[in-house]
Structure 1
Amino acid sequence: MAPQPHRTPADRLDQPDQQPAGRRAQAAAAREAAQRTERRHRLLIRSAAGLLGLAVLGGLTAIVVGDRGGGSSVGDSAATGIPTQPRTTAEGRTSTPPWNAPADPAAAVAAAGLPMLGAEGTVEHIHAHLDVYLDGQAVTVPALVGIDEGAQRISPLHTHDTSGVIHIESPVTADFTLGQFMTEWQVSLAADHLGAARTDATHTLTAYVNGKAVTGNPAAVKLGAHDEIALLYGTSPENAQVPVPRGYAWPSGL
């Protein structure tokens, strides 16, 4: 039999199957750690790509929503058709009273720059009161200004009866003016006239809010909660017969 070659301890350690168990375990652990690092690296790359894709998709979605007007909520003025800046002029009849409620309330409301709603708004719910005096005589503010009973539609600015109470019932918080209401009523109003009544050397037109005279354009008067608004036109003796109201006896619930 041929003699076997002599192997040193170092020769035996060079053979994989001859490595001690501890070194084999260390090598396996190192390979597993390397594999984990590689998997984590690939995961980070995929995550970054995914985030980039979401960012691009989000940007495109925002553009699409913006183009479709999706950014407007139900409560926005633009969505409800109620202007953020109310009109400060009043257009309508330049005749003498009586001034009944318009036969076409929807057209009058549109002229005031306001929408006809399917129901009274609840976000802003306040009331003001209007008195009108012409040549010392009270003029009736009619019922159903801003209300179309046939179509079952209603303006956020309207009257229910002849008490002079103006209801402001809006789906958004907004300013409303006397000019808007007078336009809905279709009675022309400016600093120099009320309907057919025009100011001259002996006749004046004065607007009062809570008993205090307001200078300038009466159509620009804003309607505040429980404001008492009065319009007085006439000669000095005629106007002197009218006690300027400072307030209104509000019924319970208004």
Structure 2
Amino acid sequence: MKKLSKFIMSTSVAALFSACGGGGYPPTSTTISTSKEPIAIVSTLVNGVDYWQNGSAVAGGKDIIFDNVTCLTSEDYHIHSHLTIIRDQTYLAVPANIGLQGCAYELHTHDKSGVIHVETSKYKKFTLGQFFAVWGKALDSKVIAEFHDVNFLIYLTDGDGPVRYFGNPKDIELLDKREITVIVGIPPSSLPTYIWQSPS
């Protein structure tokens, strides 16, 4: 009887977690197939169709801080993460020149490749939520930019992967060569794979 009770309880917890989707996401497998033809991450890459204007949606400059992200003073610490946004199977290009309003912020983009530049005087933990703050767009478990109350899926690739992410997207750390794929609405049949070509 005790074994049966434990089984029922564990099954119920698993069902509840699945129904919750781990933070507002629809239940699905933690793995997904990837494309066989990798995309080279270079400055000339336009990773999707234009959807947003280039630059940030908010004014910036000296003494203006966005979620603890400031104008950079030096770039002794310089790494890159990559962001892909897919809405209903269509890739939306992350705009160029985010975080370059009034000054160069510690988090910024140069082009439409999806590369997020992390540049600062020494290591600091930066998150996707901070990048969206610099961009001037909303980000949490229910809202991504202009997309509200729709199904979100997020995958992280750190060398191996991709691995499904179930937490709050604003907490995702921007690690070197980490690939972050955000899926809004209808998911694609497979996720992109990338080859890093040492962006400057």
TM-score (norm 1): 0.52
Higher strand share: 2
Structure-2 separation of matches of 1:229 and 1:164 = 10
- Alignment match of 2:111 (pick from 147, 161, 164): 161
Q: Which residue of 1 aligns with 2:95?
A: 142
Structure number with greater Rg is 1
Q: Which residue of 2 aligns with 1:249?
A: 195
The answer to whether the Cα contact below 8 Å between 2:109 and 2:116 also exists between their aligned partners in 1 is yes
The answer to whether the Cα contact below 8 Å between 1:128 and 1:223 also exists between their aligned partners in 2 is yes
* Deviations 1:52-83 (CA, angstroms, capped at 9, x unpaired): xxxxxxxxxxxxxxxxxxxxxxxxxxxxxxxx
Across the aligned residues of Structure 1 and Structure 2, the Cα RMSD in angstroms comes to 2.1
Q: CA deviation at 1:117?
A: 2.6
Q: 1:103 to 1:223 in 2, by over 3 A?
A: closer
Q: 1:207 to 1:136 in 2, by over 3 A?
A: same
Q: CA deviation at 1:104?
A: 4.2
* Deviations 1:112-137 (CA, angstroms, capped at 9, x unpaired): 3211135x411x21111100011221
The answer to whether the Cα contact below 8 Å between 2:155 and 2:165 also exists between their aligned partners in 1 is yes
Q: 1:204 to 1:176 in 2, by over 3 A?
A: same
Percentage of identical aligned residues: 31
Aligned residues: 144
Structure-2 separation of matches of 1:105 and 1:212 = 35
The answer to whether the Cα contact below 8 Å between 2:137 and 2:144 also exists between their aligned partners in 1 is yes
Matches within 5 A, 1:215-226: 215-226=166-177
- Structure number with greater CO (CA < 8 Å, separation at least 6) is 2
Matches within 5 A, 1:71-220: 98-100=51-53, 101-102=55-56, 104-106=58-60, 110-118=65-73, 120-122=74-76, 124-148=77-101, 151=102, 153-199=103-149, 203-210=150-157, 211-220=162-171
4+ residue runs over 6 A deviation: none
Structure-2 separation of matches of 1:105 and 1:133 = 26
2:194 maps to 1:239: no
Structure-1 separation of matches of 2:131 and 2:196 = 20
Unaligned runs of 5+ residues in structure 2 are: 1-49
> Counterpart of 2:70 in structure 1: which amino acid?
P
Higher helix share: 1
The answer to whether the Cα contact below 8 Å between 1:105 and 1:146 also exists between their aligned partners in 2 is no
TM-score (norm 2): 0.65
Unaligned runs of 5+ residues in structure 1 are: 1-96
Structure-2 separation of matches of 1:209 and 1:99 = 23
Q: CA deviation at 1:253?
A: 5.4
